[in-house]
Amino acid sequence: MTTTMFGAGPGARRSMGRIGLWGPPGSGKTTFLAALNIAVLQSADKQIRLFGTDTDSTVFLKESTAMLTRDRTFPDATEAGKQLSWVLSMDQQIQVPTKLFGKKQSANVTVDLNLDLLDEPGRMFSDRPAEAADKDDDDSGLGFDSDDDDPVSQSPDNSAESVMDQLSGCNGLVLLFDPTREWEEGDMFNYFQGTLLEIAQRRMMGRAEAGGRLPHYVAVCVTKFDHPDVYRRARRLGYRSFSPYDPYLFPRVPDEFAEEFFVSLVREADKGNAELVPNALRRFFLPERIQFFVTSAIGFHLNKSSSRFQEADSMNLAPKPGGGHLIRGPIHPINVVEPLIWLGEHLAGGTR
């Protein structure tokens, strides 16, 4: 963990945070990251910027943007972990003490969130990594066939080991859950438990953290909100809302209901026990450091003939010749940058 303060006045820069990305295979990790640049560019409410700190990371930004927009394709299943180093820079108001005994004042600072992101193959996160690797062939129930044709090309046990090490060293975690996969596979909790146990084992060894829990800030992202099966449930269950500031009126699930929505979603699966995830999270992390988000990397389709979201024609997926999916049109990420901002704000706020 590196949190550096460059002074405290307006214009000050703070740099902090390694953020780990976790999620079962096909939960949308790589897509989430790929959409981040576009989400940043489309984001209107904050002054935020995203740039790479090394060539590889900059290339990923450029290429993934082109992939999602020009090629309209999803990333291939991740084969080998990728270390991405980005800076998410945002202007933020923070409370700083001005005098020794004075009241805290708010100040405008530019916060640079160092995103040292780990995009790992999801199969690394299984409680039984080798077995999970075999299951990877049909990862989601959507027919999103993973192009992962060589799942055992590397030694899963060894790299899983190091991935867990890296994750446990992060300050913030982004956990991605794909509800559509849960309906098909029902293995979300298995993956989750396996990973959590690994991290808990590493971090808790010997030392007691606050409240006997892990110190991480955890942004739990329910992915693929745009997927009709997910969206329709949000509507049916009454979680859907619209932001009056969104000119396209894309639907959202407010963050305060995100967890509830997550639970009701995974309850509809006839197998698995994903509804245990929130409780397990609270067992290992501080409840106030957990926030659920309902997200979509590609967002809803915007019908050309109308200037705003139309439910009847909202699916942004198109079948890919030979199987799998293409992205139908321009993407409109939902809640992709927000979890990172949330993490950045809290890491900067420094209640640690």
Partner 1 sequence: MRAADPIPACPVCALPAGAGDYCECGWVLRGPRRLGPVTDAVRADFDRRLAAATLEFDARAAALVSSVPGRFARWIRGGPPDRAQWATARRQAAVAADEAVDDSTARKEFAALLRGVAPGGQALLIEVVPEGIVVTRAVMGATGAPRYEADQPVRPWPDLVPGLSAHPEERLLQLAGGRGRPETAELRDRLDEALREPAAELAGAAAVLIVCGPAGWTLPEAVAGLCAELFPGARVLRVAGDAAAAGTGSIGRLTAAMPLLHGYGVIVATVDPVTGAVAAATQPLFAPGDAPGARASVTLRRFPGDRERATLAVAVDAAWSAEPQVVAVHTIPQPEPLYQVSAVLDPSGQVRFTEPPGIGEDSRPWTEVRACVPSAVDVRPAAVDLVCAIDLAGSHGQVARRKKLVSDLLGELAREYPESAAPRVSVIGCVDHRYEPGAESKAVVRGAPLGALDHAVRALAELRGDEIRYPEAASLEDLLYEAHRMLARARKAGRVGRLLLVAGRRPHPPALTVSPRPGAPLVQPCPKRYDWRDLTRQLGKAGVGTVAVADTLPMRAAKGGFWAETGADGLYSLPAATAQALGEDLGLLVREEQRPGLPLPALAQRRFDVDLRKESR
Ligand X SMILES: Nc1nc2c(ncn2[C@@H]2O[C@H](COP(=O)(O)OP(=O)(O)OP(=O)(O)O)[C@@H](O)[C@H]2O)c(=O)[nH]1
| Alpha carbon distance 331, 333 (integer Å) | 6
Q: What stretches of 138-196 adopt beta strand conformation (E)? A: 172-177
Is 314 one of the binding residues for partner 1 (CB under 8 A)?
A: yes
Shortest separation between residue 51's beta carbon and ligand X, angstroms: 22
Question: Of residues 18, 72, 216, 289, which one binds partner 1 by CB under 8 A?
Answer: 72
Is 346 one of the binding residues for ligand X (CB under 6 A)?
A: no
Question: Of residues 17, 18, 24, 30, which one binds Mg ion by CB under 5 A?
Answer: 30
Sequence letter at residue 130: A
Residues 47-106 that bind Mg ion (CB under 5 A): 78
| Alpha carbon distance 179, 229 (integer Å) | 9
For residue 318, the partner it binds in ligand X, Mg ion, partner 1, none, with Cβ less than 5 to 8 A by kind, is partner 1
For residue 328, the partner it binds in ligand X, partner 1, Mg ion, none, with Cβ less than 5 to 8 A by kind, is partner 1
- With a CB cutoff of 8 Å and minimum separation 6, the contacts of 308 are 247, 248, 249, 302
Residue of 24, 340, 39 lying closest to 179 (CA atoms): 24
Shortest separation between residue 135's beta carbon and Mg ion, angstroms: 16
Residue where the block lists tokens 């214009």 = 11
The region of 51-59, 192-200, 293-301, 341-349 touching ligand X under the rule CB under 6 A is 293-301
| Alpha carbon distance 83, 117 (integer Å) | 6
| Alpha carbon distance 60, 10 (integer Å) | 32
| Residue (44 or 312) nearer to partner 1, CB | 312
| Residue (102 or 321) nearer to partner 1, CB | 321
Shortest separation between residue 140's beta carbon and ligand X, angstroms: 6
**129 in Cβ contact with 156 (< 8 Å):** yes
Residues interacting with ligand X, by CB under 6 A?
23, 25-31, 74-75, 77-78, 121-122, 140, 144, 146, 223-224, 226-227, 296-298, 317, 325
